[in-house]
Chains A and B, each alone.
Chain A
């Protein structure tokens, strides 16, 4: 039940917040030094709780799960910044609890799993009709952060709305490889992270990390569960760019050439390189533009489009990858590459960066949930091409499970028809629903081809 008036709010803290909300509206913000707490309280009014209902396809059927996260309002027209692992295209219901404790619906504007950021918009018509007001946070320059600087995390840890925790910046350029990603989507390749010891727990996700003036320096994203205050946030400067891009058409287009870098560390001597030059290519994705141009593991990239690169330390790698990702798609990028004593200038044309995660779908009558095999998935798993649907769930007792299909199989043909797109399978399922008949499925598992019959 929502409170009828602000005065009836149950806890003193909320009364205070609401009072200050009025304050913020009528009094202009003063100079930072004089009004540290004002800036901070202004920020508190921009932090929201996000309740998400989303669909999942893991169990052989379309199912719904609920989750809670945090977010921060970043514009006066109701844009909310949160994590991609809080709000995603799988979200079917997004409801936002404002600082005033009023709940309002929101819609997904766009998401970017590569940076683990998503952008929502408050249902402005509803907000206007109900006379709801809100304020928005300001960003700080995250490049000026220094280790030891005091920061605060604001959010909804374990559903405890409006929790503020305090800590310091433990490291302002943390690099870590993240293999699990955001719901299986890749993340963190193109940015470093802010590390903080401010307590961050599940539910803090998407909430802001702020400085003492209440300016957003990062978006809290993840922590090591069970560790003592090792938490990570996406730097505000990355977030600002993502907001600007997502605001447009809801997507961010990045470029891909297919190189996997490794830190050069102290291999400069071996490769006869000058101090602080070069990016070591550890691996080249088969079939990628870089592979087609003849690049291979052990090559050293000296410059990208004339700008020298330095990939000596792991935390230097994401910004370099970001340079490549920021190039236009179909662009002829000029790399200077050193291989032994040779210097190569391969012709590489960028491709559109795609996730390894394909679209998911549930074939209800078969009790089968699948994920489309993507180009990247096919590449990683050395499949011939991106034909097929990866089985991600079977429902016990349904035709797929009875026939013997199981998680991890790749359905390559249904009734002798190659499953090049998800749409082909949907049409075959529709036909099965309309007129149930035994259906022949060809599936691969660990390179072994088996045949199954789905019986009505």
Chain B
């Protein structure tokens, strides 16, 4: 039976009440039981030419309308959203045979988070993490303070929730305020709470620890270990709560703002001192992309960006965080917004006023067609392909081999993924549509014994003969 809207609201009200009054501070088992309702496990399938691969990720509940947030690395950026199938949402500890379906909403370009909306029937069993009082910016975690969070076991254990806790050893700006605990506090993407049950932040993955590995053959080999299931690092609530509301309007994640300053590199303090910039931080622009707002505004390769809208770029440790800071600054803005930059060009300070544009078509948005008989997928040549191959806009043409099946005619002929196909049967293919028409005709022609591709790889072209019989 489908619960009515008023029912839901009532339920939500009860939950909020529970959150506020249900458990006493320090009643960790009680707090845990309530807060487990703000986490779920999400399973989905990535469809490729040959198979479907399952992925399982932890997700937190962002709001009362069933919005779930998955960490950035849960889904590969290059996968087109249409290839993500069959989202299933599991309640922690409930039999894995009982799941609800979900819908993929897209990726937020600023946080990198992926959003999923669960079907209505499950929403009543969930409590948004925002329903719990959050620690505000004035109450930053102090050293040694204890925090706790939730981890989820595997599917074979019905995603059983479990408790983790640790003390804070350090708080840094990366550029979000980020707490680093002595040991794992939560699964990546899941919330972290303080002893009183206040929402303190969201655990993030990607922080490894360095060890030295000894074995029978190796004497002291430095290795980095990364715990992919649990994390000891979390971004603090004041910085991430605004992100919870950044549900993409469209599954493409658009609008995505674009400046076109490529290969930003941090300027280290030594260089700043040499250039007599004092405590100023900055980003070196490696290249300015063709046709971009940066180019129009007169930004040049090797300019050093010093300020954004009059505010100097702050110094971070490590230096490279300044690049993320700058990218967040752009991400916060919309296409059409203006951004003013001060750059150092040689010894001269230059003011740049750029109007951000919409990001050109991304790789995940590129059209593609799989030719089963030929054994490869042809993908539209997009702006990013031009950057990687150093091809001017005027030279954008052809298609890219996105996937090549082993031992297929194309594979045997020597075609490799990422090869750029310039000609089919000795005739230049200007557009994706043109290439698809040609390839489809070859695939449909049962009398064809061979066809010829002119491909480019690493700047070198090669003629490939594909034998069909």
Chain A residues with CB under 8 Å of chain B are 260, 262, 265-267, 270-271, 280, 282-284, 286, 296-298, 340, 379-380, 382, 403-404, 416, 438, 440, 442, 444, 447-453, 455
Contact = CB atoms under 8 A, between A and B. Distances in A.
B252 interface: no
Given A448-B263, A452-B271, A267 B287 contact: no
B274 interface: yes
28 contacts: A260-B460, A267-B452, A270-B450, A270-B452, A270-B465, A297-B422, A297-B461, A297-B463, A298-B423, A298-B452, A298-B463, A380-B459, A404-B268, A440-B274, A440-B275, A447-B262, A447-B286, A448-B263, A449-B284, A451-B267, A451-B268, A451-B284, A452-B268, A452-B270, A453-B270, A453-B273, A453-B274, A455-B270
A259 to B, nearest CB: 11
Contact of B459 (A286, A298, A451): A286
Contact of A297 (B265, B275, B302, B454): B454
A282 B463 CA distance: 6
Given A286-B459, A416-B346, 10 more contacts: A270-B426, A270-B450, A283-B460, A438-B274, A448-B265, A449-B263, A449-B265, A451-B267, A452-B271, A453-B271
Contacts of A270: 426, 450, 452, 465
A447 to B, nearest CB: 6
Interface string B160-182: 00000000000000000000000
Contacts of A438: 270, 274
Interface residues of B, number: 32
B311 interface: no
B465 A403 contact: no
A188 to B, nearest CB: 18
Contacts of A280: 463
Interface string B374-404: 0000000000000000100000000000000
Nearest to A286: B459
A260 B460 CA distance: 9
Contacts of B287: 447
A98 to B, nearest CB: 45
A403 B270 contact: yes
A451 B271 contact: yes
A205 B270 CA distance: 50
Interface string B301-335: 11010000000000000000000000000000000
Nearest to B450: A270
Nearest to B387: A447
A382 B463 CA distance: 21
Q: Which 8 A-B pairs have the closest CB atoms?
A: A297-B461, A453-B270, A448-B263, A449-B286, A283-B460, A283-B461, A451-B271, A450-B265
Interface in B419-436: 422-423, 426
Interface in B246-275: 262-263, 265, 267-268, 270-271, 273-275
Most buried by B among A266, A270, A280, A286: A270
Contacts of B268: 404, 451-453
Contacts of A267: 452, 463, 465
A379 B390 CA distance: 12
A15 to B, nearest CB: 48
Given A262-B463, A298-B426, A442 B263 contact: no
Nearest to A450: B265
A284 B454 CA distance: 12
A451 B319 CA distance: 12
B462 interface: yes
Contacts of A283: 460-462
A260 B270 CA distance: 46
Contacts of B422: 297
A380 B459 CA distance: 7
Nearest to A441: B271
A296 B463 CA distance: 11
Interface in B24-61: none
Contacts of B346: 416
A268 to B, nearest CB: 11
Contacts of A382: 390, 459
B454 A442 contact: no
A55 to B, nearest CB: 31
B457 to A, nearest CB: 9
B286 A444 contact: yes
Nearest to A438: B274
B284 A298 contact: no
Contacts of A271: 426
B465 to A, nearest CB: 6
B450 A449 contact: no
B302 A449 contact: yes
A35 to B, nearest CB: 53
A444 B462 CA distance: 29
Nearest to A404: B268
B126 to A, nearest CB: 43
A375 to B, nearest CB: 14
Contacts of A444: 286
Given A440-B271, A453-B271, A296 B263 contact: no
Contact of B461 (A284, A416, A440, A455): A284
A148 B454 CA distance: 40
Contacts of A380: 459
Nearest to B462: A282
B421 to A, nearest CB: 12
Contacts of A260: 460
Contact of A450 (B274, B284, B463): B284
A340 B426 CA distance: 7
Contacts of A296: 461
Given A262-B462, A286-B459, A298 B454 contact: yes
A82 B391 CA distance: 44
Nearest to B265: A450
A380 B117 CA distance: 48
A297 B423 CA distance: 10
A69 to B, nearest CB: 33
Given A444-B286, A447-B287, A455-B270, A282 B465 contact: no
A442 B302 contact: yes
Contacts of A297: 422, 454, 456, 461-463
A411 to B, nearest CB: 14
A442 B346 CA distance: 12
Interface in B327-352: 346
